[in-house]
Structure formats: structure tokens, C-alpha cells
Amino acid sequence: MQRREEGQVSENRTNDAEVDGRRGVASAGSLTGTQRAATALRAGIRTGRYVPGQRLVEADLTRELGVGRNSLREAFARLASEGLVLIEPHRGASIRRRTRAEIAGLYDLSEVLEGLAARLAATNITLPGNSELLASATRRLQAGARSGGATEQIDEAARFHEAILAIADNARLTELVVNLHIQTFSFQLRHAHLSGQHPMGDASLSDHLAVAEAIQRGDPQKAETVMREHLRSGKQRVLALPDTVFD
């Protein structure tokens, strides 16, 4: 059992490194203070460390992130331009809240952009390493759905989508979709914690597997169609949530 777990950890690290490398993710040592702060804040938003409406206290964050005040403020401005942070006069920066309509709109954008990513991935699937990368992400997604908690399930779903982006190999498309993921996946995580429910239901897992199958078959039209259907289903689940989730 220990060897199997060690093998899974090794696969996880290899898969993460390959996705990051193909997305052009820089090492922490090569980033400026502003880039380090922005990267850490984006990750914190996606994982639910920073929640909608939370004030971002400069004194705390400069210590936590190890950056100067000017770098932090530049990072706030960068994230504000991405729609992740709200900067108000005399109140400072906070994590931007999203209404039900705004979240639904984000899913509309994701449907179009990730449909394109799935189409490109199906076109590129025969290139070296692509089929193996998707197969690894799919196995991890299934393992997380069987035994993982809410956070792990959401993380594996995000990695599955990011593997597709890596295979699609379009830098600008990746940038746009990752920004959307930060907002939609953080929302799913918040809802999972509030409700105590696991978000990866049978229908969602089935959707992901259908996307993977179409891409592995090299069928661009089918891959785009099933990806868009998957995201429309996600949007419908969001719209069915109670009003308290959007407070």
C-alpha cells in the first residue's frame, strides 16, 4: 500500500510539474515581489483562503507574503484589473464579491473558451506526451471523486481542466481561462464548505470523462460539444443554489 501511495504522489508531482512547465509557470525565485504577491493571492482566492468580501490588510500581507508595501499595492491593482480584488477609497482592498448573475456570466464565458480549449486539445492529442498527460489527469480526477474531500475534488477538477489547456497550447486562451477558474472554482469551494457537500457528483464526473474520451479519440467537434454541455450543467447547478450562498 505504501509503495502504491508513493507512486501516486510521484505521479501527482510529475503531472503538476508538466502542466506548470507547459503553461510557462515561472519558479518562485524568478518572480518579482509584485508577481509573488499576485500569484499567492490568486492561489489563496482559488483555494478559499481569502473569501469574497474579506479585507486585505496590508500590514498582515506584507509579513505573510514577504513583500514590500509598494509591491503589494501593485499586486492589488493587477488583481483589480482581473476582477478579483475591489479597491475602494478610504477602505483599501478586499476580495470582490460576486452576485448570482455575475457567477452565471462567468460560466457563460467559460463555456465558450473551454469549449475552444477542448477542441484544440483534441486536435493536438497525438503530439508527444499529450495523451499521457490527459490520462494521468483523468485518473487523478477519478481517484479524487471516489475518496477525496471537497477541496481535493475541486483541486483535481481544476488540474484536469488545466491539463486540457496545456494540451491546447494557446497561451492567451490559458491566461483567460485560468482567471475564470480562480473565480468559479473558489466559488464552488466556498459553497462546498458552507453546505458540507462534496461538489463532484456522479453527473459531473461523467461529464469530465466524456470530455476526456472525446479528446483522446481526437474528435474536436465532440470534445467542444461535451465540454460546453458540462459547463452549462455547472451553471445550472450554480443558479439552483440558495440566495444565502451569494451573500
* Per-residue pLDDT tens over the stretch 29-56: 588 899 999 999 998 988 888 888 899 9
Could you tell me which residues come within 8 angstroms of residue 127 by beta carbon, excluding any fewer than 6 positions away? 167
Closest alpha carbon to 184 in 134, 118, 138, 230: 230
Higher local confidence (pLDDT), 1 or 143: 143
DSSP result, 212-245 = HHHHHTT-HHHHHHHHHHHHHHHHHHHHTS-GGG
How far is 95 from 114, CA to CA, in rounded Å?
25
Helix (H) or strand (E) holding 95: strand 92-95
Q: 3-class SS at 94? A: strand
- Give CA torsion, residues 225, 227, 231, 233, to 10 deg: 70
Q: Is the pLDDT of residue 240 over 90?
A: no
> Per residue in 114-170, pLDDT tens?
999 999 999 999 999 999 999 999 999 999 888 767 778 888 888 999 999 999 999
Predicted confidence band at 3 (pLDDT cuts at 50, 70, 90)?
very low
